[in-house]
Amino acid sequence: MSRRPTGTPLPWEGPRADAEARAERRRRRLGWIAYAMILVAALASVVWRQTVGVERFRELQKTREEMAVARAERDELANRILQLQRRERIVAFAQQRLGMHVARDEEIVLLRVPASAARSGSAAGVKP
C-alpha cells in the first residue's frame, strides 16, 4: 500500500471532482442570476406602479381643473341670471323696447271669476 496524503483525490477521481466543482459553480451562478432576475422584476414593478400612479394623478389634477372651470362658469351664469331677473332691469327693458309702463290705478281692471269656473278649475288641479 502506498501512502497518499489525505484529501488528495485518486487519479480516477480527478475528473469527477472537477465536474462536481463545475456543477457547484454553475448552481451558484444560477442562484445569483435568479436572485438578480427577481430583483429586476421587483424594481420594474415598482417603476410601473409609480408611472401608473403619476398618470392617474395627472388625470385627477386635470379633472379638478376642469371642475374648477365648470364651477366658475356656473357661478358666472348664476350671477348673470340674477342680474337679468332684477326688477329694475325688467322694468327698464319693458319701457324701452316694448313701450310698456307701470299701470296706474285707473288702468287696473279686476274681473270676477264665476263660481262654476272656479269649481272646474279646482277639479283640474288649478288653484282658485
Q: pLDDT tens across 24-40, in order?
A: 999 999 999 999 999 99
Q: What's the pLDDT score for residue 128?
A: 46
For residue 30, the enclosing domain spans: 14-120
Compute the chain's Rg from CA coordinates. Answer: 47
pLDDT at 9 over 80: no
- Domain total in the chain: 1
Task: Indicate whether 127 belongs to any domain.
Answer: no
Scan for cell 429586476, then name that residue: 40
Q: Which residues of 63-72 are buried (b: 16+ CB within 10 A; e: fewer)?
A: eeeeeeeeee
Task: Indicate whether 29 belongs to any domain.
Answer: yes
pLDDT in tens, 69-121: 999 999 999 999 999 999 999 999 899 998 998 888 888 888 888 888 777 76
Alpha-helical (H) ranges within 1-128 are 14-85, 87-97, 115-123
Task: Indicate whether 125 belongs to any domain.
Answer: no
Give the model's confidence band at 16: pLDDT under 50 very low, under 70 low, under 90 confident, else very high. Answer: confident
Task: Indicate whether 8 belongs to any domain.
Answer: no
